[in-house]
Amino acid sequence: DQQVKQNSPSLSVQEGRISILNCDYTNSMFDYFLWYKKYPAEGPTFLISISSIKDKNEDGRFTVFLNKSAKHLSLHIVPSQPGDSAVYFCAAASRGGSNYKLTFGKGTLLTVNP
């Protein structure tokens, strides 16, 4: 039972263009969402988060959009750079109760071509 789904295992974009990574969730108790970036042989690194009271959060080149009615979020990276090439994980948590317990998707491998 996968509660957080990243349906695209991989994505390839050209340097300078926009990268859009998508994530869907099924558990309506989730109200806090995070994106992590992971390089090979390293642990995940926090990138950006969004609370369910917002529909957009921006940090530099990274913007996360949340559509609660569709239970969908997306991460936009603009402009994409070769150093952005990594696996991106979407994660979700619930503020009430076990808010420390992150539920991860399977990840999307982003490749940014020079």
Residues at the interface with other proteins (CB under 8 A): 4, 6, 32, 36, 41-46, 49, 89, 91, 93, 95, 98-107
Determine contact, residues 21/75, Cβ cutoff 8 Å. yes
84: which 2 tokens? 């952005």
Q: Which is nearer to other proteins, 79 or 109 (CB)?
A: 109
Please report how close the Cβ of residue 38 comes to other proteins at its closest, in angstroms. 8
HSE on the CB side for 38, CA within 13 Å? 18
Shortest Å distance, C-beta 98 to other proteins: 6
State which residue, 41 or 70, has the beta carbon closest to other proteins: 41
Residues 6 or more apart whose Cβ sits within 8 Å of residue 7: 22, 24
Closest approach, Cβ 37 to other proteins, in A, equals 11
Q: Which is nearer to other proteins, 65 or 104 (CB)?
A: 104
Of the pair 83, 100, the CB lying nearest other proteins is at 100
Residue 102 CB, nearest approach to other proteins (Å)? 6
Burial 44-78, CB ≥16 within 10 A → b, else e:
beebbbbebeeeeeeeeebbbbbeeeebebbbbbe
